Structure 1
Amino acid sequence: MRLLVTGAAGLLGRELLRTADHEVVPAYHSQVVPGGVQFDVRRRDVVREVIRSVRPDGIIHTAYKRDDWAATADGAVNVALEADGARLVFVSSDAVFGPREAAYTEHELPCPITPYGAAKAAAETAILAIRPGAVIARTSIIVGSDGRSGEEQRVRRFAAGEPGVFYTGNIRCPVHVSDLASALLELLVSDVIGVTHVAGPQAISRFDLGRLIALRDGLDPQALPSAPGTPSNIRLDSRGTQDVLQTRLRPASEFLLSRR
Structure 2
Amino acid sequence: MTLLVVGASGFLGAEVCRQAVAAGRRVVGTYHSGAVGVSGVAARRLDVTDRAAVRALLAEVRPDAVVSTPYRYDDWTITADGAAHVASASAQVRARLVHLSSDALHAGRPEPYADDDAPSPVFRYGAAKAAAETAVRLVDPGAVIVRTSLIVGEGSKQIQLCRDALAGRMSLFTDEVRCPVDVADLAAAVLELVDSDYAGPLNVAGADAVSRDELGLLVARHEGLDPAGMKTTTTVAAGLHRPTEVRLDSSRAAGLLRTRLRGVTELLG
Give the TM-score band, short-chain normalised.
over 0.9
2:163–2:216 contact (8 Å) kept in structure 1: no
Quick one: which amino acid aligns to residue 135 of structure 2? A
- Residue 30 of structure 1: CA displacement? 0.6
- Percent identity, aligned pairs only, is 47
Structure 1 counterpart of 2:113, one-letter code: Y
Match of 2:240 in 1: none
Q: Does 1:174 align with 2:180?
A: yes
Aligned position for 1:9: 9
- Contact 1:151/1:210, CA 8 A, preserved across alignment: no
1:172-202 CA deviation, whole Å, 9 max, x = no partner? 0000000100000001101111110000121
The answer to whether the 8 A contact 2:163-2:219 is kept is no
- Two-structure CA RMSD over aligned residues (Å): 1.2
Aligned-pair distance for 1:55? Answer: 0.9
What is the letter of the counterpart of residue 173 of structure 2? Y
Q: In structure 2, what is the equivalent of residue 204 of structure 1?
A: 210
Are the counterparts in 2 of residues 202 and 251 from structure 1 also a CA contact under 8 Å?
A: yes
CA contact (8 A) 1:103 1:235 kept: yes
1:103-182 matched pairs, under 5 angstroms: 103-144=112-153, 146=154, 148-162=155-169, 164-182=170-188
**Structure 2: gaps spanning 5 or more residues:** 237-242
Distance in 1 of aligned mates of 2:162 and 2:251: 29
| Structure-2 separation of matches of 1:10 and 1:222 | 32
1:138-186 per-residue CA deviation (whole Å, 9 max, x = no partner) reads 0000001x2x211111122222231x21111110000000010000000
1:26 correspondence with 2:29: yes
Aligned-pair CA distance for 1:218: 2.2
Matched with 2:101 is: 92
Which of the numbers 190, 194, 202 marks the counterpart of 1:188? Answer: 194
Structure 1 residues 67 and 228: CA distance shift in structure 2, 3 A: closer
Tell whether 2:250 aligns with 1:238. Answer: yes
Which of 77, 102, 115 is equivalent to 2:111?
102
TM-score, normalised by the number of residues in structure 2 = 0.91
Q: Secondary structure at the match of 1:56?
A: coil
How far off its partner does 1:233 sit? 0.4
Amino acid at match of 1:246: R
- CA deviations over 1:11-64 (Å, ceiling 9, x no partner): 101111111122111111111225300010000011011111111000000001
**Could you tell me which residue of structure 1 aligns to residue 267 of structure 2?**
255
Q: For the residues of structure 2 that align with 1:216 and 1:9, how far apart are their CA atoms?
A: 27
Tell which deviates more after alignment, 228-237 or 50-59: 228-237
Give the secondary structure class of the aligned counterpart of 1:232: coil
Name whichever of 42-51 and 25-34 sits farther off.
25-34
Q: Using the alignment, how far apart are the partners of 2:56 and 2:36 within structure 1?
A: 18
Give the 3-state SS of the residue equivalent to 2:207 in structure 1. Answer: coil
Which amino acid counterpart does residue 18 of structure 2 have in structure 1? R
Give the one of 64, 74, 86 matched to 1:79.
86
State the one-letter code of the partner of 2:119. Answer: P
Name the CA distance, whole Å, in 2 between partners of 1:228 and 1:49: 46
**Residue 70 of structure 2: which of 63, 66, 84 is its match?**
63
- Give the secondary structure class of the aligned counterpart of 1:243: helix
Distance between the aligned counterparts of 1:17 and 1:218, measured in 2? Answer: 31
Q: Which amino acid aligns with 2:19?
A: T
2:53 to 40, 46, 57: 46
Q: Deviations over 1:68-124 (max 9, x none)?
A: 000000000000111121000000000110111111001111000111100110110
DSSP-derived class of the 2:206 partner = coil
